[in-house]
A and B are shown apart, each in its own frame.
Chain A
Amino acid sequence: MLIYEHSRPGRNGAPQAPVSKADLSDIPPELLRRGRAGLPEVSELQAVRHYTRLSKKNFSIDTHFYPLGSCTMKYNPRACNSLAMLPGFLSRHPLTPDRHSQGFLACMYELQSMLCEAMGMTAFSLAPMAGAQGEFAGIKMISAYHKANNDDARKEILVPDAAHGTNPATATMCGYSVREIPTLDSGDVDFEALQTAVGPQTAGLMLTNPSTLGVFERQIEKIAAIVHEAGGLLYYDGANLNAILGKIRPGDMGFDVIHTNLHKTFSTPHGGGGPGSGAVGVADRLKPFLPLPIVADDNGNYRRLTEQDAPRSIGHLSAFMGNAGVLIRAYIYMRLLGKAGMERVAEFATLNANYMMAEAKRRGFQLAIPERRASHEFIITLKKEASEFHVTAMDFAKRLLDLGYHAPTTYFPLLVPECLLIEPTESEAKEALDGFMDALEQIRGEARNHPEIVTTAPHTLPVKRLDEVSAARKLDLAWKAEPPA
């Protein structure tokens, strides 16, 4: 039932708003609203009960193992939430002068510094509000750099064909054309193809390392060298940072600009789809172009840099300080982990992934890249099961839901057919990993003997498989009070 169906005229949460409606007669009547807004009228208890019940229809990290490749569903420590919501942070207006916001700005400054240290970059901006916005900032900075050098011929961005969809979408948004570089079966970028593609028209290359295939890009130094020699810059997509945190740093690999996903590597909450944060870091030559605001330390006085301080900045990406509350949560997480904690992240994330990969192999599943070490994630292909039992990766995913596991990422990267991209993260105990592998085996057995159980799964959730075709053909995107005439 929708909240609207509990609605009755005249009901509301009475003590939550001023009790009477003030006089609006000084406003010209033609600028006033005609008719009342069609919002539900329910009591507070009805609203609380409704949204509490709805929450129970969700899977979440708190309730389920969530091995979603490339999403890093690690535990979200609750201290990050409660401390970020202290009144001193929560009720602070963003336009409060810097002089009177030293506590908040100190946290932001230290977050910038810790990110620089962990990533091997010179400077960081916390402005981008999501990974995609971080990518946008990064490519925009590359564009500003070339423009500042009067280098107008550079019109192309190179992107591996296995890249996340935001990469080519971002390049287009910045006015570039995209040229795809093929990936070899080993998971490495096709270096020869890259060599042919690189030239005076190259603005830059966007790369994830470890790649979206879950393996380390072994030729990274050679790649960095030829792109730089040709005058292009290197962009790092930080989606897979959880695999290398504390082991190797993007700056040391030769990247000029990186974006981090604080909602992945630094455990800020996924919140049902957001908010995220895509802090961007740069090497020296891109420093002047960083988006604002950036927090600087003026002899112990923290302040936000302005356009006067940073005249070549690409500008602002939001009205205020980006997703400030998310940034505070990331800061708290980093203080809780500290040096030793951060150095353990990649260690255990990689251990868990390699263990699961070895188990998958032992139990007869086909690995996409069997001869290599996994990073923090790995890929199984269910191509064989699909052709033998006519059961797809999608079907496996849906049946996993019945068995109490959120499915891994399916059908990404696009290069591997019928794939499951599995990322356990460092938060999970061995029993969770074993339980998941048991579930996969069980489903394979079902696929062999009773495939309908799998192809019509899930059976135990609030709904069964949904008709996505009619959802897109007959768009019903909002509840309306009266049916259309």
Chain B
Amino acid sequence: MLETIGIRNTDELFEEIPSHLKVSGLEGIPQGMTEMEVSRLMHQRAAENRQAVCFIGAGAYEHHIPAAVWQLTTRGEYYTAYTPYQAEASQGTLQLTYEFQSMITALTDMDVSNASLYDGASALAEAVLMAVRGNRKSKSRRIIIPRTVHPAYRKTADTIVSGQNIELVEVDYDRASGTVQLDAIKQAAGDDITAVVIQQPSFFGTLEDVDAITDWAHQNNALVISITNPLSIAVLKPPGQWGGNGADIACGDGQPLGAPLSSGGPYYGFLCCSKALVRQMPGRIVGRTTDVDGKEGFVLTLQAREQHIRRSKATSNICTNQGLVVTASTIHMAILGPQGLENTAAACHANTRELVAQLSTIDGVRTAFNGPIFHESVLLLDRPADEVLEALIAQGILGGYDLAADYPELGSAILVCATELRTEEDMMAYRTELQAILAVETRHKETA
């Protein structure tokens, strides 16, 4: 090979690099390991992560995933395939993605879906940008975001849209019900609002008045952006059925449908919209068409909106989607089917309801909000939440998410969730331990 190129050694290949800039080697990088050695290391590291029974939701949920899902997803043909720009060589990925789009639009009851964005939080940011582009009747570029929307989603949206002349208007929630009230929205809206964001169930697990808010928004020239847990809408009213006309843009995180918790990612953001807004939608979209022989085929479409063509005028700079996770999610939805998803969602609700009923019989525990909840609930404690949770972990229980940082006004509060995986034994153990912890007089601190 060197002969063909006409050089004596590979150093000559790098002669165009100024020699004083070259590094002699990567001194700080440890030497390579065999697969055997790396395996031992990773097993050790994995074991250093505390295993505990999980009662945390807060945007990432532990569900059963059929074994077939990731076995198929990690087939080399899916795992190591590239973006389907050469459509004829990618009909597997393209058809699967079309099926994904079909399933997500069916679940959300919306007109169209894209092929996914990075995660739910960044999907919200893209939905906001889309609403600003798509709402021709409103000039204010002001978006209502209630505090009942996931705090991390609000922070991410802020990071991404600030600097584009968009104002995110925060609206507080009603302390008794844990939901945002239409009156509060009206007041914050003033004369002109471009969009209203509603999360259902809310971050607290409470149920918002989606119909009234949606109708009000539409009567006032504002678009409606929904954030939903896609599993929950197997039984709860999906965004396409909100109010008289349905939400305009639906987003959320697809993690509950086939993505393991995996320390926070990769998950995927789903984004759906009404037909009228389809050309404002960022990200890849797969369309069905025919080939020159009239045979059915699938292809990336509406690419003219994307960065590689439109460049500085693109709908977004997004290039990659979450292809592999979408693959898993599609297979997951196909195996579970509508009945499977319904039963799972209902079981999560029933288990959380049961958990809350059990725990609130303990002295020192009470529910934070009146009104119906779905899948998650906020509990108030008589003792500092961080200490209680620490004591629970020592007993092998991840008791919930501490709300102190994001909602200090609630005092000592935790967000708990029991999915279909939590058994009666799990919940009884939680109850027993929590009762014991709260009964102790002195403060319990785990040694470092």
Check B264–A165 contact: CB distance below 8 A: no
Q: Is B170 located at the chain interface by the 8 A CB criterion?
A: no
Name which of B133-141, B232-240, B433-441 contacts chain A. B232-240
Bound-state Cα–Cα, A2 to B54, Å: 37
A22 touches B346 (CB 8 A): yes
Give Cα A88 to B112, complex, Å. Answer: 37
Min distance, Cβ B413 to any Cβ of chain A, angstroms: 15
A314–B161 CA distance with the chains assembled, in angstroms: 12
A321 lies within 8 A of chain B by Cβ: yes
Identify the stretch in A34-42, A192-200, A280-288, A379-387 within 8 Å (CB) of chain B at 4 or more residues: A34-42
Whether A248 is near chain B, meaning CB under 8 Å from some CB there, is: yes
* CB-based contact B316/A271 at 8 Å: no
Let me know if B62 and A4 touch, CB within 8 A: no
Give how many A-B residue pairs fall within 8 Å (CB-CB).
Answer: 651
Cβ of A321: which chain B residues have Cβ within 8 Å of it? 263-265
**Neighbour of A101 across the interface among B49, B262, B342, CB < 8 A:** B49
A390 within 8 A of B: no
Interface band, chain A: 35 or more
Pair B81/A270 contact, Cβ less than 8 Å: yes
Q: Tell me which of A269, A332, A335 contacts B30 (CB under 8 A).
A: A335
Given that A39-B103, A60-B76, A466-B291 are contacting pairs, would A273 and B323 also be in contact in the complex, using a CB cutoff of 8 Å? yes
Bound state CA distance, A143 and B162, in angstroms? 11
The smallest C-beta distance from A302 to any residue of chain B, in angstroms, reads: 10
Q: Which of B188-196, B217-225, B324-332, B362-370 contacts A (4 or more CB under 8 A)?
A: B324-332
Given contacts A36-B338, A55-B72, whether A117 and B372 have CB atoms under 8 Å apart is no
B90 close to chain A: CB less than 8 A: yes
B262 x A324 contact (CB < 8 A): yes
Within 8 A of B (CB), among A301-339: 301, 314-326, 328, 332, 334-339
| B contact residues around A270 at 8 Å (CB) | 80-83, 323
Interface residues in A140-163 (C-beta closer than 8 Å to B): 140, 143
- Which of A18, A30, A79, A169 sits near B38, CB closer than 8 Å? A79
Chain A's closest residue to B1 (CB) is: A355
Q: Give chain B residues whose Cβ lies under 8 Å from the Cβ of A76.
A: 79-80
Bound Cα distance A95, B150 (Å): 13
A467 touches B86 (CB 8 A): no
* Contact present for A461 and B292 (CB under 8 Å): no
Binds B, one of A227-235, A343-351, A445-453: A343-351
Tell me the chain B residues, 7-30 only, with Cβ under 8 Å from chain A.
7, 10, 13-18, 21-23, 25-30
Given A60-B81, A334-B29: A407 and B86 interface contact (C-beta under 8 Å) = yes
Contact B265 A104 (CB under 8 A): no
B445 smallest CB distance to A (angstroms): 12
Interface membership of chain A positions 38-57, coded 1 if the CB is closer than 8 angstroms to chain B and 0 otherwise: 11111010011011101111
Residues in B neighbouring A85, C-beta threshold 8 A: 70, 262
B374 at interface, CB cutoff 8 A: yes
Contacts known (A269-B324, A340-B32); A58 close to B92, Cβ less than 8 A:
yes
Q: How far is the CA of A346 from the CA of B11 in the complex (A)?
A: 11
Residues of chain B with a CB closer than 8 A to A485's CB: none
A133 to B350, CA, bound (A): 39
Q: Is the CB of A246 within 8 A of B26?
A: yes
- B312 close to A178 (CB less than 8 A): yes
Asked whether, in the complex, the Cβ of A274 is within 8 Å of the Cβ of B46, the reply is: no
Judge whether B323 and A133 touch: CB under 8 Å.
no
Q: Give chain A residues whose Cβ lies under 8 Å from the Cβ of B184.
A: none
CB–CB B60/A335 < 8 A: no
A-B contact pairs, 6 of them (CB 8 A): A32-B235, A37-B234, A58-B77, A92-B261, A322-B264, A480-B102
